[in-house]
Structure 1
Amino acid sequence: MSTFVVFDLEFTSWPEALERDWGEPGQFREIVQIGALRLTAECAVVEEFETLVRPVVNPELSPYFTGLTGIGQEAVDRDGACPAEALGEFLGFCRDQTVLSYGNDMVVLGENMGWVRSRGEQLKHSFLDAAFLNIRPWLNAVAPDTATADSGRLWQALGLPRPMAGSEHSALFDCHSFAAALRHLHAEGHVLPEGCPR
């Protein structure tokens, strides 16, 4: 069975960090949560991946981040994996797959992998073992109503049922919203970009 992966990241943030491109001193886009789904060519979910990650440079989550995502300090301290472990497991989940993001999450992933390696830590799998693709330009072109929606609101932009319990800015919820949009577009006859199962 041919499959592909969609993924979403939640990473450290502060008020106006997006507008300033994380340009203030000490601000880094450290991954705190990874969500991913393995999908069939028909965009049906066959496997989920989710993990919390303990940030290293800014281990104390900002109130802004917690308010946005609902991810609390206690959960990250208790359940968060070290970045090398979490990233290695995620890259293993993606191995030999086309991996789609709705935006530039692969850039943030690459930044975090670079920081892991700069600390002398090893990753179990390589970024090069998968084909990463930002599908947002394609999706916005075939469904213009999605142009202003983030991944967690794609289901709303397309008038679809809520994909699962939860809300946007939770990585796994955002993945299910993303997958629901792809299923809808597939059912309407849209062909996913080159590299995705047909």
Structure 2
Amino acid sequence: MSTFVVFDLEFTTWHGALEQDWGAPGQLREIVQIGALRLREDFSVAEEYEAVVRPVVNPQLSPYFIELTGIEQEMVDREGVSAAEALGDFLGFCRGQSVLSYGNDMVVLGENVGWARARGEDVKHGFLAAHFLNIRPWLNAVAPETENSNVGRLWQVLGLPRPAAGKEHSALFDCYSFAAAIKHLCGTGAVLPVGGIRR
């Protein structure tokens, strides 16, 4: 049975950063958490991936980020791995898969791979062995009520049962919300825009 991956990222942010497109001096979208699910064709979970990452340029998380995500500085200091290690592991997890995001998270992923390599760090694996696709436009077209929703609220907007323990803006919880939305929409007849995945 073939599988595919859904993923979500949490990255450094500050009050007003989204509106300014992270344009203030020193503000970079450094990944702090990666969550991913490998899903079977029936949308059941085959495997989970989760990593906490230590940011380099801004190692101290902003109070805004902590409040938004619930990720504490102590957690990052204690459990965080280097960006190169997390990125390489994640790209290995995605190898040979269609990899779906709700938004352009692959752009942030690419920025972080570029920064790690520019620092001389070895990022194992690469993008070419996986097919990354932002399916937010498809999902919003199929279910217009989701247009203004973040990924962690999709289950709520679609009136679905809570998909997992946790809360929105936790990368793995957001993946479960995303997966629940895809499963629901495909169950109502929508066709996921990814070759080889049918339901």
TM-score in terms of structure 1 length? 0.98
CA contact (8 A) 1:42 1:186 kept: no
CA contact (8 A) 1:84 1:116 kept: yes
Question: What amino acid sits opposite 2:100 in the alignment?
Answer: L
1:175: which partner in 2? 175
- Show structure 2 runs of 5+ residues with no match: none
Question: What amino acid sits opposite 1:168 in the alignment?
Answer: E
* 1:87-143 Cα distance to aligned partner (Å, 9 max, x none): 000000000000000001000000000001100111111111100000000000001
State the shift of 1:196 in Å: 5.0
1:46 partner SS: strand
* 1:10-43 Cα distance to aligned partner (Å, 9 max, x none): 0000000000000000000000000000011222
User: Whole-Å Cα distance in 2 between the matches of residues 52 and 196 of structure 1?
Assistant: 31
2:20 partner SS: coil
| Count of matched residue positions in the alignment of Structure 1 and Structure 2 | 198
CA contact (8 A) 1:106 1:132 kept: yes
- Show structure 1 runs of 5+ residues with no match: none
**CA 1:118–1:165 in 2, change beyond 3 Å: closer, same or farther?**
same
RMSD: 0.7
Question: What amino acid sits opposite 2:8 in the alignment?
Answer: D
CA contact (8 A) 2:98 2:194 kept: no
Percent of aligned pairs with the same amino acid? 73
Question: What amino acid sits opposite 2:115 in the alignment?
Answer: W
TM-score in terms of structure 2 length? 0.98
1:186 partner SS: helix
Alignment of 1:8-157 (within 5 A): 8-157=8-157
2:194 partner SS: coil
* 1:143-172 Cα distance to aligned partner (Å, 9 max, x none): 111111100000011000111111100000
